[in-house]
A and B are shown apart, each in its own frame.
Chain A
Amino acid sequence: MSKNLSIRHRAEKRFIAYGFISLILAATMLATIIGSMIYRSIPAYTNYSIDLEINMTEISAEDEFEDINFRGIIRSSLFSFFPEVESRSDKRKLFKLISSSASYTLRDFIIENPSYINKKFYFNVLFTDDSDLFYKGYVDTSLSESERRLDNQEVAWLNELKNTGRVKNKISKNLFLNGDSREPEVAGFWGATIGSLITISVTLLLSFPVGVLTAIYLENFAVKNRITDFIEVNINNLAAVPSIIFGLLGLAVFINFFGMPRSIPLVGGLVLSLMTLPTIIIATRSSLQSVPPSIREAALAMGASEMQVVFQHLLPSALPGIFTGTIIGLARAFGESAPLLLIGMVAFIVDIPATFTDPATALPVQIYIWADSPERAFVAKTSAATLILIGLLILINLAAVLLRKRYEVKW
């Protein structure tokens, strides 16, 4: 008897130890992934820039913006640091050290602040990704010239510029506020984030009401017969269909048949809501089932109609489960990129979307596009965007927990 007891105790201790080890293992893996992401993303958050002295005194206010040679103004300001550089090819090489976006940012700045015409002022101009990585110490100057992106002369120029004290390392506003770009120093994930949020809100607005109503009908009103059984089997089946199939369906139905445009969040949201519907229906049904039958019977005994029972008693008690199911479904849709490929949302889109019908892309797609880009600086950007995606998913899941707590009923 006592021997048996000690065996059982030992078995229990072993079981607890196994559980603890698995927990530690899972936590270490998660920490490694997030840790390496954070480490890799470090160069993405800041960008080296230089304050150039912009001389606009020779330009009169009457000039049209199109006629002003912003590129020339920036060039001459940069060349004033190196009066000895004279040949055309050297000048071109020198100008390539700063971002090609510089003249356009200056143009946009002047259009917004026309009072700067006629003045001399300092204007902050970004370095190109290669120069930026050099300042951050990612260019190994011990390698021979042909094996790195910057040659000795460019390295010397960059060092000289640094000695002027005008070079600064600033938080990269572009990363957080811009849409996509081919220049790593200009590219940002805001466009993709907005695209994701718009898409996911379409998904929520469609799949939540439809899913909950379907579940209520199937659970409380539908007659149990072969047809409803068939529907039930199909709904459960749909939950396991690979997501790319929904993309194919979206392409065939929404784009080819209804003639909706490609690359818009409306179509993306429709496709993703097809994908989340089964999850929501299954979750809603099981949480409706878990409401104790006594509640329902008591309400019916008091003379409530079926509809009153459902909306006043069953649904409020089932809400926490419904929210959890919905949010798990949405979180999956949020991280999805395969179905978006077929409906044209895997695309290079610079403008930040504002409505349901503006062309847009999504965060997972942005990560994919950046991971696919040859420029070295995009490696860091990829990790930064991944962290943002993980952060948003944590927020969504946190909302699930809070909503569940708020509506939870103890029996």
Chain B
Amino acid sequence: MKNLFKSLVIILSIALIPSLQAKAEEQIRIVGSSTVFPFSTAVAEEFGRKTKYKTPIVESTGSGGGMKLFCAGNGKQHPDITNASRRIKSKEFKKCSDAGIKIIEIKVGYDGIVLANSKKANVVKLSTRDIYMALAEKVPANEDGSELQDNPYQTWKDVNPKLPNVKIEVLGPPPTSGTRDAFVELAMDAGAKTFPALKELRGSSKAGKNKFKRIARTIREDGAFIEAGENDNLIIQKLDQNPNALGIFGFSFLDQNTDKIQGSIVNDAEPTFDNILIGDYPISRSLFFYVKKNHIRMKPSITQFVKEFTSLSAMSEDGYLVEKGLIPLSPEEYKKYKNAGKNLIELEL
């Protein structure tokens, strides 16, 4: 018994000695969006291999969570970079400026959000209006959208007679995810806007706009929309087993699994690399990362990291990020953000 406690004490003291020594080098710390995570980590790894610096630590906290950590302040315990699958909000920007943080904004590229089903079934042809009608909690009861009702539709055929007579089953991300935010904003809003009364409501006033958002962006909870993990390989397996179901995820998952699933056509555009690039595919969003300029003096390697991220070997059309499923920027935009990174141009809103 005595021996047991003695050895415990010895182990404890041996174990704590190294942790008391001060660290000489600090590595870059990155937080933020889980959508940008695969790209950010790829750059971090390449940076760690190429340079003498340690590989940066990349945390997957979600866009909002990342902003919160990033804008908390300057100093060692706060992250240097945050990734976001949307642009920084003015509220967040204000919080950052109030904390004395200077930000450099870099746009990385685009990401398409796709609806896909198993290859065992036919390709689905949808419009954003169909998506809204199938997934919203409240849908218009008449043609112009002035009266609303609880979503009565059980099959795709109920929504639109041109669609197959199959039960509506959509696997999608939970409300906490940026993919979900972008999906409701881009697809459902666009669908709701096709009803004149709803469009009018949106343009009427601030209160009207909020009401519109509530109508357009609230997803039904009666089982037709199934919350699954976000960007999860399991969704692919579930779609494979259930050919009637549709799944919602980032383009890179479609890109990696083209032998098992196929992307649905939305508003006559297929979710292909080229269609997202030229903007024909309606559900696509921009990806960003934000650099804390104040930290560059403390960690000069940040500039090197930004250089690696914005290098041609990463971001150009045959760069390694595109290989991972990123849709690259247009040459003009690329020039703009490469320059912002190089000359440390501060973001102003």
Which residues of A are in contact with B by a Cβ distance under 8 Å? 89, 92, 96, 100-101, 104, 139-140, 143, 146-149, 181-183, 201-202, 205, 208-209, 255, 259, 261-263, 266, 311, 315-316, 341, 344, 346-351, 354-357, 359, 369, 371-376, 378-379, 382
Contacts and interface: CB of A to CB of B under 8 A. Distances in A.
B320 A100 contact: yes
B44 A348 contact: yes
A351 B231 contact: no
Interface in B251-272: 252-253, 255-259
Contact of A348 (B54, B57, B230): B57
Nearest to A349: B57
Given A255-B77, A315-B1, A347 B259 contact: no
A379 B320 CA distance: 21
A99 to B, nearest CB: 12
B19 A346 contact: no
Interface of B: 1, 5, 8, 11-12, 15-16, 18-19, 23, 27, 29, 31, 34, 37-38, 40-42, 44-45, 48-49, 54-55, 57-61, 76-77, 119, 229-234, 250, 252-253, 255-259, 318, 320, 323-325
Given A149-B259, A355-B18, A374-B233, 5 more contacts: A263-B57, A263-B59, A341-B61, A349-B57, A376-B257
Contacts of B15: 201-202, 205, 356
Most buried by B among A143, A311, A348, A371: A348
A146 B273 CA distance: 12
Contacts of A349: 55, 57
B48 A374 contact: no
A374 B253 contact: yes
Contact of B256 (A209, A359, A369, A376): A376
Contacts of B45: 181-183, 348, 350
A101 B77 CA distance: 32
Contacts of A372: 34, 37, 60, 229-233
A376 B44 CA distance: 21
Contact of A374 (B27, B77, B325): B325
Contact of B8 (A100, A205, A369): A205
B260 to A, nearest CB: 9
Given A147-B259, A182-B42, A346 B59 contact: yes
B49 A104 contact: yes
Contacts, number: 120
Q: Lowest 7 CB-CB distances: which A-B pairs, in order? A: A348-B58, A350-B55, A348-B41, A347-B59, A355-B18, A182-B42, A374-B256
A371 B19 contact: no
A374 B258 CA distance: 12
B341 to A, nearest CB: 21
A358 to B, nearest CB: 9
A393 B57 CA distance: 28
Nearest to B234: A371
Contacts of A139: 259
Contacts of B324: 182, 374
B210 to A, nearest CB: 30
B233 A266 contact: no
A344 B69 CA distance: 11
A182 B258 contact: no
11 contacts: A149-B256, A205-B8, A208-B8, A255-B77, A315-B1, A316-B1, A346-B59, A348-B58, A349-B55, A369-B60, A372-B232
Contact of A311 (B1, B19, B27, B29): B1
A29 to B, nearest CB: 18
A399 to B, nearest CB: 14
Contacts of A356: 15-16, 18-19
A292 to B, nearest CB: 19
Contacts of B250: 374
Nearest to A345: B59
Contact of A379 (B42, B233, B325): B233
